[in-house]
Amino acid sequence: MTERNIQVEPIDRRAVEDQDIEIVERKGIGHPDSICDGIAEAISSALSQAYLDRVGKVLHYNTDETQLVAGSSNPQFGGGEMVEPIYILLTGRATKEYEGTKIPTDTIALEAARDYLNENIPELDVGTDVILDVKLGEGSGDLQSVFSEDGATVPMANDTSFGVGHAPLSETEQIVLNAEDRLNNEFVAEYPALGPDVKIMGKRERDTIDVTVAAAMVDSYIDNRDEYDEMVENVRDYVHGVAEEYTDREVNIHVNTADTEDSIYLTTTGTSAEMGDDGSVGRGNRANGLITPNRSMSMEATSGKNPVNHIGKIYNLLSTSIAETVVSEVDGIRDMRVRLLSQIGRPIDEPHVADAQVVTEDGVTLADIEDDIVAIVDEELANVTTITERAVNGDVRTF
Amino acid sequence: MTERNIQVEPIDRRAVEDQDIEIVERKGIGHPDSICDGIAEAISSALSQAYLDRVGKVLHYNTDETQLVAGSSNPQFGGGEMVEPIYILLTGRATKEYEGTKIPTDTIALEAARDYLNENIPELDVGTDVILDVKLGEGSGDLQSVFSEDGATVPMANDTSFGVGHAPLSETEQIVLNAEDRLNNEFVAEYPALGPDVKIMGKRERDTIDVTVAAAMVDSYIDNRDEYDEMVENVRDYVHGVAEEYTDREVNIHVNTADTEDSIYLTTTGTSAEMGDDGSVGRGNRANGLITPNRSMSMEATSGKNPVNHIGKIYNLLSTSIAETVVSEVDGIRDMRVRLLSQIGRPIDEPHVADAQVVTEDGVTLADIEDDIVAIVDEELANVTTITERAVNGDVRTF
Amino acid sequence: MTERNIQVEPIDRRAVEDQDIEIVERKGIGHPDSICDGIAEAISSALSQAYLDRVGKVLHYNTDETQLVAGSSNPQFGGGEMVEPIYILLTGRATKEYEGTKIPTDTIALEAARDYLNENIPELDVGTDVILDVKLGEGSGDLQSVFSEDGATVPMANDTSFGVGHAPLSETEQIVLNAEDRLNNEFVAEYPALGPDVKIMGKRERDTIDVTVAAAMVDSYIDNRDEYDEMVENVRDYVHGVAEEYTDREVNIHVNTADTEDSIYLTTTGTSAEMGDDGSVGRGNRANGLITPNRSMSMEATSGKNPVNHIGKIYNLLSTSIAETVVSEVDGIRDMRVRLLSQIGRPIDEPHVADAQVVTEDGVTLADIEDDIVAIVDEELANVTTITERAVNGDVRTF
Amino acid sequence: MTERNIQVEPIDRRAVEDQDIEIVERKGIGHPDSICDGIAEAISSALSQAYLDRVGKVLHYNTDETQLVAGSSNPQFGGGEMVEPIYILLTGRATKEYEGTKIPTDTIALEAARDYLNENIPELDVGTDVILDVKLGEGSGDLQSVFSEDGATVPMANDTSFGVGHAPLSETEQIVLNAEDRLNNEFVAEYPALGPDVKIMGKRERDTIDVTVAAAMVDSYIDNRDEYDEMVENVRDYVHGVAEEYTDREVNIHVNTADTEDSIYLTTTGTSAEMGDDGSVGRGNRANGLITPNRSMSMEATSGKNPVNHIGKIYNLLSTSIAETVVSEVDGIRDMRVRLLSQIGRPIDEPHVADAQVVTEDGVTLADIEDDIVAIVDEELANVTTITERAVNGDVRTF
């Protein structure tokens, strides 16, 4: 039996799916806060890999403070232009020299940010529409980590921190998460007029789900108001179709509800960062991609944190992973919350407490499944360094 | 009877005070994230007042994106020095001209930030230890607000947003909140060696409360390790005394637990921003001053938002105010959560739903107190503009 | 006969060619100061054209203050890398709105700078090796100019300013100017290892000319010290060949004389801006491409100034053009200086004084050629707006 | 007899005082270019002293690239305000660590710049009217200098460079130099309405001297147009009085000639940097305080250069000092130019050539005074390190 302190207990609330009112939000990949999250995590992954390539281990860094200052634009049917560029300051700490080897952290960060923007916000011309600036301080040398290419050893927690994860997603959560994801992948392939800045708010009152979508349209693909209105209608229909895959409840879709006769959500680049909306890391989606006030959330910004030794990042990712694994492998769970609390000075695979709180389905008792849950939690904790590996490879969702 | 949609219902969880594990955190006023929150809110208040003075109403602005890039320092017993200055970028949007009157928003922001730092982080020499830079974009003219010196009219909600507040504070929450507050006011008056960057984590497991304090010491007041250790002891004793005022549970206080023989938490300016810790608005304390994963939290940054028309700010402040008022005026409430959900296009004093969820004390039923609760919620909503007034006057806590 | 105040008189010194000691310098196109000059003038031309395209006339701007902050690099035989990027701040003033039309001056400036760097310093990867930032203030509206697509009218001088030009170039000047030009065009086509940062100092003592070349070599084309030394030799031979085309005097060529066994002039990008050398507009070459302490020079920065109404720019370009034209069309001139002095409030084609000072060749008297000189000066003044046209088209040398 | 290569010869032109047309300009201490020069030199002196204090010798640095980006203001009779702050970027290179001792170069630079502005441009509130930012790169370690508190040894020239100085000043030069100096010291003590941004252009045609003064007036001291006009008159009278001390020629004084009925030279802070005029180091006055197109000038920026090993700075200061000393000690010199040309690798007190060119007064032959001149030049060269000492102490004029 494990020596880890794993507790399984009933959750002290109803399953979110059973609550009367539920609110769920997701800021899409082109939202200014998400742009910052995405850049921060892309830099993190690039730095990790550069350290491994050059010195064989990941050195100390944190790049979780990217700040976006909005530009201004002049969108026009058929194609407008940026007037003042967006300014993005890449900031944080990174180790710049190690045993005589210099690591060009600033140019790595700039390149990672540029590549990320080119791939994810393609209408932005990086360099004219966006200024990328960098102020990476020197990390303190004594925090160098032990994650090396020879394999990972489990680091000690150097902070008291807390991670929380949930599973399964409620219907409303699934709708919000998948609607944004599929709009920005499947839908946009057919309709390039949709920009990546899609913000979705889901509100469920008992058995009625209202999904409100704010979708930035790209002016160069839209020649007049009729085409704009048609695109709004296309988005509505598409999201409705997505929603029906995840629920039998009544669903109402609202798209760009703030539009008036004179004012519509037309942009030149597909993101509201072009005109007045600033952004920061850690202000938007939590590590599971959602903002869920009905559930416990960690304030910790996950994107851009060092995945080797930042306990907040690791525990947020790991608790989510644990919850998802448990729910997929153990039957009878209606709602589950996993909390991990670190203890300074002990290995991170031995948290002060790992706390699995469960709402079982009717006919299932916690006693029936407790051992299975403990076993999975234990195994996932034992494999904590796979979280690090995946983050180094850019293979985790952090926002 | 009110026409507002006010619902009172039992909360679907135990009172936080009755849960087994409780975690509470507060980043003190000198923490880099709190510095950003404080500056952002100080600028907000200064801009509001400037608009009122100059054009008779508060115009559109949001200054909730202050970004701090850490400096580097060389602390020494007896007094060290800053080596590289902290860089703080004041950003956001503000209306710079109104009917021919120019508003010097950039210089107002710089002055407000400087004054705030001088008052709250007195060891920082603004201008040499800290660079203040500013990039305030032009706000879009069509969002000008209606809050004028002739009195407020209630604005329409222009976003779907959500605010949440709680009362009363649990014992652990009271300890964490008051320990930081009193360290930074009462204690520091006697012991100037304590810097304002005090971070407090409270963890309660059933009836044992562990309070972990990370307290930046100011080197110019400390001549050697013995004096440092004595200060650590002073903080411990003081916090223990504070804690005992709020609880009869067992309390353990831990101060600067990461100290080793070679490494202590000594700073030149009293904030970790001097050496490697960046900060942002909205990444730290919620509007009630705490981070409380056991409770619903809003992700919305409250500091720096326009208090006239930013529904997220108003509803976070108002829901907290409502919860506090209800609990102080109505007996028999053990725990209470107030949620306010806006509806686009309707006056903000008529939320889509105002949802008061209550855990009553033994012997009290919700029916006994429901009418009283509704009446108070109704009155507070009717007086929503007092929240704006207080924020304009710099008279609310936002972090 | 002209009514312009044109004076022809003997110059009160020997011809430069006849002086005992002569010093001539040119900072090549890749020198940090020249990079700034080049960017400033490229932005100027781009803005002029944008104004003509969008509002039919050139509006007020000046972009003569580009500042380059050097980066750091780690050059290596076979190819090194940039470590910290070069930072270039594009600054100045520009009119951003005209009768309701917005001019995206910032993005135009960024694009012009990027294009200029891509073309002229090809080894620099703009965006990772170089950060381009922009702070263009709003120009004062009342200085809008009168140069329109309908044809130019001659503007009034709004400043007391001074321009000076010379012809013909001395042998040493020709060597310095052409050696840099041909190294950076002809030679580099064959030997890409030569970077564009070539600085040439010519010193003539009576009949001996010493040419000292500091030439940044590009590491990716050079695999070892022998290849480096060979390149140095190639440059020396090439410059020697160039020099002999312009003089029969004794010529000694010195290349990279600061090299030691341990330290050579090896770079990653071909410019010393990559490692410690900052640059500014107007600190290097004068409008004729040279620094010539033996001759009168104007302190005025020519690059980046508005070519419609900036009298300093126009008079420096025009006086050089006049001197060159006179010398090419009138025989018997050994040395000539043309000075133009503006008079506030009068048309710029009517300078306060146009002062042509001449050293004639043996056997020629000033009286023989005075009328011809006056006629040419008069005609060039009458056609002053062609200078503006050429500058708008990017068709003048300014550094 | 000296072994230095000192040549004395007739100058190959008339004395400037005897030329027909003479142009002289001085940008006063509050001109944007002069502000940059002044800050750059103040930082240089502060760094030199800090190095001496901390490590006993002056280390490598150059801070000659300060860039000022103008703000915008709203001047009003009786007192207006800054609208957008002036931005000043302090840049250059400095050694940040030496044998384990860290030198806080950035904070030293910020403090020196702030102190300089507070003293010289007192109406500017540094921190709100002006943003000071800093980007000082790491200097290359191998260029550390040998100027130590134990006394100076003469360094080797590491560049081919050139310095030039003149004496005595012509009447026009004396008028321009002293008018600005006394306006900004004596006059302003009585009339604080005069700002420090005073630009003076002197133009002499034979025996008529026109002095054109552009003087920024400070709005808080001037309540209406009449008071403004009175101040203009006061400046005119004062400058006329100054001029008459230096010449018997006819003098005409012109003050703020660009004023119209609607537009006057009124400022809030006393410098045109508040509204649209950018500035840079080395773009304005030469090391003797003047711009003198009738004389040879060096393009080298003197301000901010390291006074220990920057040969351009040292030779510009030294050649001026030599010329002044010779003229004050040797009778019979009507005009004199001293040129110093360095030779790489030789001690800087042994220039390649020191070239004194002289116009003697009637009745004096060069032979009469040649030996005296050579002796003084020789002695001044021998004492070259006193130039360094004075620059370290902030005791030289560099602009």
Q: What is the CATH number of the domain that holds C195?
A: 3.30.300.340
Mean pLDDT of D206-229: 97
What is the dihedral angle through the alpha carbons of B365, B369, B370, B376, rounded to the nearest 10 degrees? -150
Q: Which helix H or strand E contains C73, and what residues bound it?
A: strand C72-74
Do A115 and A84 lie in one domain? The reply is yes
Cβ neighbors of B213 (< 8 A, separation 6 or more) are: B179, B198, B199, B200, B235, B236, B239, B253, B254, B255, B256
- D332 among the known binding-site residues? no
Pairwise CA distance, residues D256 & D222, whole Å: 16
All residues of chain A having their beta carbon less than 8 Å from the beta carbon of residue B294 are 296
Cβ neighbors of B254 (< 8 A, separation 6 or more) are: B210, B211, B212, B213, B236
Q: Does D114 touch chain B (CB under 8 A)?
A: yes
Dig out the tokens for D210 from the structure.
């026109």
Chain-chain contact of D258 with C142 (C-beta, under 8 angstroms): no
Do C184 and C222 lie in one domain? The reply is yes
Chain-chain contact of C74 with A131 (C-beta, under 8 angstroms): no
B106, B123, B124: best to mutate for the D interface, most D CBs within 10 A: B106
Q: Which residues pair with A194 in a beta bridge?
A: A217
Q: Within a domain: residue A278?
A: no
Closest by CA to C303, choosing from C77, C45, C48, C15, is C45
Pairwise CA distance, residues D179 & D266, whole Å: 20
The predicted pLDDT at position A44 comes to 97
Q: Within a domain: residue B154?
A: no
Do C316 and C382 lie in one domain? The reply is yes
Q: For residue D162, name the pLDDT band (cuts at 50, 70, 90).
A: confident
Dig out the tokens for A97 from the structure.
């020299």
> pLDDT for D376-393, tens place per residue?
999 999 999 999 999 999
Helix, strand, coil percent content, chain C, rounded in steps of 5: 35, 30, 35
User: Does C127 have pLDDT greater than 80?
Assistant: yes
Dig out the tokens for A362 from the structure.
């009717």
Do A252 and A294 lie in one domain? The reply is no
With contact defined as beta carbons under 8 Å apart, do C219 and C76 qualify?
yes
The predicted pLDDT at position B155 comes to 83
Q: Does D1 touch chain C (CB under 8 A)?
A: no
Q: What is the CATH number of the domain that holds A322?
A: 3.30.300.280
Chain-chain contact of D12 with C23 (C-beta, under 8 angstroms): no
Percent of chain A scoring above 70 in pLDDT: 96
Q: Within a domain: residue B220?
A: yes
Q: Does C10 touch chain D (CB under 8 A)?
A: no
The residue of chain D with its CA nearest to that of C32 is: D65
Mean pLDDT of D130-153: 70
Closest by CA to B288, choosing from B274, B298, B276, B273, is B298
Buried b (16+ CB within 10 A) or exposed e, A122-138: ebbbbbbbbbbbbbbbe
Closest by CA to B181, choosing from B257, B173, D54, is B173
Chain-chain contact of C104 with A111 (C-beta, under 8 angstroms): no
> pLDDT for D309-344, tens place per residue?
899 999 999 999 999 999 999 999 999 999 998 877
All residues of chain D having their beta carbon less than 8 Å from the beta carbon of residue B102 are 74, 83
**Total count of domains within chain D:** 3
All residues of chain A having their beta carbon less than 8 Å from the beta carbon of residue C110 are 85, 127-128, 131
Domain boundary among D218, D236, D270: D270
The predicted pLDDT at position D141 comes to 46
Judge if the upstream peptide bond of residue C168 is cis by omega within 30 degrees of 0.
yes
Do D262 and D198 lie in one domain? The reply is yes
B65, B303, B346: best to mutate for the A interface, most A CBs within 10 A: B65
Do D292 and D164 lie in one domain? The reply is yes
The predicted pLDDT at position B153 comes to 75
Mean pLDDT of C110-134: 97
Q: Within a domain: residue B150?
A: no
Closest by CA to D75, choosing from D186, D185, D220, D207, is D220
Closest by CA to B50, choosing from B117, B121, B13, B102, is B102
Pairwise CA distance, residues A52 & A32, whole Å: 30
Do A133 and A190 lie in one domain? The reply is no
Residue at token pair 């695979």: A349
Q: Residue C133 to residues A21, A132, C136: CA-CA distances in angstroms?
A: 47, 8, 10
Chain-wide mean pLDDT for chain C? 93
Chain-chain contact of A133 with C133 (C-beta, under 8 angstroms): yes
Q: Within a domain: residue B277?
A: no
The predicted pLDDT at position B141 comes to 46
Q: Running DSSP on this structure, what letter comes out for residue A132?
A: E
Tell me how many degrees the CA angle D21-D24-D25 measures, rounded to the nearest 5.
150
DSSP sequence for B2-42? --S-EEEEE-SS--GGGSSEEEEEEE-TTSHHHHHHHHHHH
Q: Does C353 touch chain D (CB under 8 A)?
A: yes
Do C256 and C190 lie in one domain? The reply is yes
Pairwise CA distance, residues D112 & D110, whole Å: 6
Rg of chain D in Å (alpha carbons): 22
For chain B positions 240-269, those within 8 Å of chain A (CB to CB) are 257-258, 263
Do D165 and D287 lie in one domain? The reply is yes
Q: How many CB pairs under 8 A join A and B?
A: 137
Q: Of residues C139 and C376, which shows the higher confidence score? A: C376
Q: For residue D143, name the pLDDT band (cuts at 50, 70, 90).
A: very low
Q: Does D355 touch chain C (CB under 8 A)?
A: yes
Q: Does A208 touch chain B (CB under 8 A)?
A: no
Residue at token pair 């490697």: B276
Nearest CB among D14, D164, D284 relative to C293 is that of D164
Nearest CB among D23, D137, D344 relative to C72 is that of D137
Q: Which helix H or strand E contains A198, and what residues bound it?
A: strand A194-205
With contact defined as beta carbons under 8 Å apart, do C136 and C106 qualify?
yes
pTM of the entire structure?
0.95
Do B182 and B213 lie in one domain? The reply is yes
Chain-chain contact of A67 with B65 (C-beta, under 8 angstroms): yes
Helix axes D32-55, D105-120, angle to 10 degrees: 130
Q: Within a domain: residue A150?
A: no
Do D291 and D385 lie in one domain? The reply is yes
Pairwise CA distance, residues D353 & D6, whole Å: 6
Q: Which helix H or strand E contains B166, and what residues bound it?
A: strand B162-167
Q: Within a domain: residue A248?
A: yes
Closest by CA to B344, choosing from B112, B106, B151, B156, is B156
User: Does C398 have pLDDT greater than 70?
Assistant: yes
φ, ψ at C200 (rounded to 5°): -125, 130
Dig out the tokens for A388 from the structure.
């690090």
The predicted pLDDT at position D149 comes to 56
A 10 A CB-CB count for C58 gives: 28
Q: Does A85 touch chain C (CB under 8 A)?
A: yes
Chain-chain contact of C137 with D291 (C-beta, under 8 angstroms): no
Do D43 and D102 lie in one domain? The reply is yes
Q: Does B110 touch chain D (CB under 8 A)?
A: yes
Cβ neighbors of A268 (< 8 A, separation 6 or more) are: A73, A74, A75, A79, A80, A81, A82, A123, A218, A219, A220, A274
In three state form, how does the secondary structure of chain D look?
Answer: CCCCCEEEEECCCCCHHHCCEEEEEEECCCCHHHHHHHHHHHHHHHHHHHHHHHHCECCCEECCCCEEECCEEECCCCCCEEEECEEEEEEEEECCEECCEECCHHHHHHHHHHHHHHHHCCCCCECCCEEEEEEEEECCHHHCCCEECCEECCCECCCCCEEEEEECCCHHHHHHHHHHHHHHHHHHHHCCCEEEEEEEEEEEECCEEEEEEEEEEEHHHCCCHHHHHHHHHHHHHHHHHHHHHHCCCEEEEEECCCCCCCCCCEECCCCHHHCCCCEECCCCCCCCCCECCCCCCCCCCCCCCCCCCCHHHHHHHHHHHHHHHHHHHCCCEEEEEEEEECCCCCECCCCCEEEEEEEECCCCCHHHHHHHHHHHHHHHHHCCHHHHHHHHCCCCCCC
Q: How many CB pairs under 8 A join C and D?
A: 134
Mean pLDDT of A55-82: 95
Q: What is the CATH number of the domain that holds C85?
A: 3.30.300.10
User: Does A142 have pLDDT greater than 90?
Assistant: no
> pLDDT for A243-262, tens place per residue?
999 999 999 999 998 898 98
Chain-chain contact of C353 with D21 (C-beta, under 8 angstroms): yes
- Show the low-confidence residues of chain B (pLDDT under 50): 141-146
The residue of chain B with its CA nearest to that of D107 is: B128
To the nearest whole Å, the CA of C334 is away from the closest chain D CA by 16
> pLDDT for D230-268, tens place per residue?
999 999 999 999 999 999 999 999 999 889 898 999 999
> pLDDT for D97-120, tens place per residue?
998 899 999 999 999 999 999 999
Q: Of residues D301 and D145, which shows the higher confidence score? A: D301
Percent of chain C scoring above 90 in pLDDT: 83
To the nearest whole Å, the CA of D20 is away from the closest chain B CA by 50
Question: How many residues are there in chain D?
Answer: 399
Q: Does A281 touch chain B (CB under 8 A)?
A: yes
The residue of chain A with its CA nearest to that of C131 is: A133
Domain residues for the domain of A350 are 6-15+160-169+283-392
Percent of chain C scoring above 70 in pLDDT: 96
Nearest CB among A85, A111, A134 relative to C131 is that of A134
Q: Within a domain: residue C278?
A: no
Pairwise CA distance, residues A182 & A185, whole Å: 5
All residues of chain A having their beta carbon less than 8 Å from the beta carbon of residue C97 are none
